[in-house]
Amino acid sequence: MRDFSNDHSMLALNTATLGHNVDGQGAGWPVEKVIDACAERGFGGIVFWRREIGDRAVEIGERVRASGMQVVGLCRTPFLTGPLALPTRAAIMDDFRASIDMAAGLGAPVLTIVTGGVEPGTRGMAESLKLVADHVAEAASYAAERNVRLALEPLHPVYGGDRSCLVTLRDAVDLCDAIAHPAVGVAIDVYHVWWDTSLPDELLRAGKSRIFGYHLCDWLAETRDVLLDRGMMGDGVADLKALRGAVEAAGYDGLCEVEIFSANNWWLRDPGDVLDMCVERFRTVC
């Protein structure tokens, strides 16, 4: 396993850690200030959210690279299924392609897919997962043409109803097998998979070529809000060393992305202090 105790160049910031995924949250730093602050602290890369980018994708991507960092990825596609998805397939696919175009403009190699929940009128996950496979298969070639890979991110089962019918890495790898396109892989987020004792075996099934990202945070033992109360690494019950060991044993050697949704804690703090803590915890507990 890689030793990060004296080197955090493989650390990336997901800007959700500063509240940038939700309107009105965080300190409201402009993109330029976030880039400069991360570069000053030696981060290796940044992952943005679409709401931050607007029509400035090329400009922002160039600024990140000029700072010496990488654009690691973009969050996220629209929901593809479920009650929060757009009302028609045509609208969903138009927005899917728009998210791919934004990632390409940024020079982001990975676009994260959060699938959306159980399709209205159905029960269980099976029919919704078939819809996800259909939508992703349609978009995969377009993404490949734009040099963007699509990362299916399984979410914790608590989100199964409305946000993600994809709740295990097993099902994510099964989708990859069914779609069978090299531009489609998986993203592993500690918050969503820390509990899954089958994870090491499923990571080996995925293999190096299909693990597109690894996201860091922690699960608090007394979580007050399952969406917006993630823990800073080391503050919760996830075995972070073992999780990264399993991801790397499967071949992953990319950047590690801190992604913490924390409306009542970390988003209320000075962003510079949050970034400093990310560096410290990455070096000591991850």
Residues 27-45 have a mean pLDDT of 97
pLDDT at 62: 98
Mean of pLDDT values over 88-107: 98
pLDDT at 274: 98
> Which tens digit of pLDDT belongs to each residue from 45-63?
999 999 999 999 999 999 9
Mean pLDDT of the 167-195 span? 98
CA distances (Å), origin 148, targets 74, 87, 143 = 10, 26, 5
E-strand stretches of 118-221? 149-152, 184-189, 211-216
- pLDDT average, residue stretch 99-126: 98
Provide the pLDDT for residue 11: 98
CA angle, residues 245, 251, 254, in degrees to nearest 5? 85
Of 25-29, 81-85, 182-186, minimum mean pLDDT range: 25-29
- Identify the pLDDT of residue 88: 97
List the domains of the chain with CATH numbers. 11-285 (3.20.20.150)
227: CB partners within 8 A, 6+ apart: 159, 261
pLDDT for the residue numbered 116: 98
> What pLDDT is stored for residue 1 in this prediction?
94
pLDDT bucket at 180, cuts 50 / 70 / 90: very high
Residue 35 is predicted with a pLDDT of: 98
pLDDT for 87 equals 97
Q: Which whole number is the average pLDDT over 171-179?
A: 98
Q: What is the pLDDT of residue 89?
A: 97
15 DSSP 8-state letter: G
Which pLDDT band holds residue 170 (cuts at 50, 70, 90)? very high
Q: What is the pLDDT of residue 50?
A: 97
Rounded average pLDDT over 10-15? 98
Computed over every residue of the chain, the mean pLDDT equals 98
Q: pLDDT category, 100, cuts 50, 70, 90?
A: very high
> Tell me, what's the pLDDT at 107?
98
Element of type H or E holding 120: none
Percentage of the chain modeled with pLDDT above 90: 100
DSSP secondary structure letter of residue 237: S
The predicted pLDDT at position 212 comes to 98
- Based on the number of CB atoms within 10 Å of its own CB, is 265 exposed (0-12), middle (13-18) or buried (19 or more)? middle
User: Residue 56's pLDDT is what?
Assistant: 97
Contact at 8 Å (CB) between 199 and 243?
A: yes
Q: What is the pLDDT of residue 84?
A: 97
b/e burial code for range 40-53 (CB count within 10 A of at least 16 → b): eeebbbbbbbbebb
Q: Give the confidence band of 148 by pLDDT, cuts at 50, 70, 90.
A: very high
* pLDDT, average across residues 59-87: 98
Pairing mode of beta strands 11-14, 45-49: parallel
